[in-house]
Amino acid sequence: MRIEEDTLGKVTLPDNAYYGAQTKRAVENFQISGLRLQRQFIRAQGTVKLAAAKANASFGLLNKKVLHAIEKAAIEVIRGKHDSQFVVDVYQAGAGTSQNMNINEVIANRAIEILRSKKGNYRLIHPNDHINMAQSTNDTIPTAIYISSFESVKERLVPNLKRLYQGLLKKSQEFNKILKAGRTHLQDAVPMTLGQEFSGYAEGIRNDIQRLQKASRSLLYLPIGGNAVGTGINAHPMFQDRVIKEIRKITSIKFMKARNSFEGIQNVYPALELSASLRGLAVTLTKIANDIRLLSSGPRTGFAEIILPPVQTGSSIMPGKVNPVMAEMLNMVCFQVIGNDTAITYATQASQLELNVMMPLIAYNLLFSIDILSNAIEAFNKKCINGIKANERNCRKFAESTLAIATALNPILGYESAAKVAKKAYITGRTIKQIVIEKGILKEKEADKLLNPFKLSKPF
């Protein structure tokens, strides 16, 4: 064990802990959930601290020896070597002061160790004076949120969405000539192809990719350099420009400084904008998952228009039952994302005066949504969409029997007369085609041509 001291007094710490007194107090104060901020966030924090050290050193505020030690420690954090040292609960001190001090202390103590001294020798490298130089919780935490969220969307979520889009597009082409009945209000509608239905799903995903990418662009404006309230107090006049330049070098992403540092610290609206687009994506995915469940319902008492790849047994009591488990999983993930967005919305509007003090909650829920959506989309595409097969016989049967084929009679008979034909077909259990031939409304060849389901599915 070792003893450290902060402004409140002495604290006992395990000797192998790189975190220090302020982190230890936070661990004792916030034993709430056992949840910790994600790996992506810790990596982003390491990026901010590394960039800040390089910027400060370029102004002569850190000597080369200290910079080298901090740089090495920060890179280890970025690479995940010290993840076990980030021990503060998500539900912690407001803006994330404990989280900021956690990384300040870890990097400081590891840098001290690199310089062959003992942890806690803060006369050599201090968590606040050196690691947190020219920074504040108030500008580093939102900066870490934006960096980690942008990287997560760019590196995982969008690529997985693009693969899902391609999977749906492939199915739309594969099913393009398979006729089926459309359905509106869950009732019979005019004929269409299964491929047309899937093309709608693909386009919905493509639109969500565009919305996500647009929302992500707001994350490129970082409030780092604004310090406590936006004035940049205690920072070199060129610190903001230099630290952004260093972040760009580390991440290879074209981050920029916030257009207004005061607004950038008062609010966390880029996170809210991204969360809203994730919620929209969740709504799109929910619709697709629900449709997949409906279209695959059966196999004998439902629609049974598509056949899903069996990935596991569906019942602990009913032998041979196979359920649409991947679609159900996707539904659950989407509902969670919508709930996360609600939490983020409330936390974002909780900004007061110069600061939002709910940022750890925003960070956790935003990254949680991105993570589970990325994983769910990948699994859904691989284990469900890619293996879907069409039940062409069932599709064709419904296409030919839908009463909405009577819509094609509107130009000839008018709406009311066509409705009577549809009603007669329903009562007798016969098809629209059979009724119009029997009643002499159309000759067989005319009926074949006018009421051809495939032709009706491609009116243009």
Question: What residues are annotated to the active site?
Answer: 315
Residue 77 and residue 42 in contact, taking contact as beta carbons nearer than 8 Å: yes
Residue 451 is encoded by which pair of tokens?
């009421």
| Structure-token match 């994350």, residue found | 219
Three-state secondary structure string covering 225-259: CCCCCCCCCCCCCCHHHHHHHHHHHHHCCCCEECC
Q: Which of 388, 327, 401 is nearest to 173 (CA)?
A: 388
* Residue 186 to residues 183, 189, 294, 295, Cα–Cα distance (Å): 5, 9, 10, 11
Three-class SS state of 186? coil
| Structure-token match 């409330």, residue found | 346
Compute the distance between CA of residue 255 and CA of residue 247 in angstroms, rounded to an integer. 7
309 Cβ contact partners less than 8 Å away, ≥ 6 residues apart? 383, 384, 386, 387, 388
Give me the residues paired with residue 306 across strands.
Answer: 390
Alpha-helical regions (H) of 384-443? 392-401, 410-413, 415-428, 432-438
Compute CA 89 distance to the chain's CA centroid, rounded to the nearest angstrom: 22
DSSP symbol at 123: T
Cα 158-159-164 angle, rounded to 5 deg: 95
Residue 405 and residue 433 in contact, taking contact as beta carbons nearer than 8 Å: yes
Hey, CA dihedral for 275, 365, 137, 111, is it positive or negative?
Answer: negative
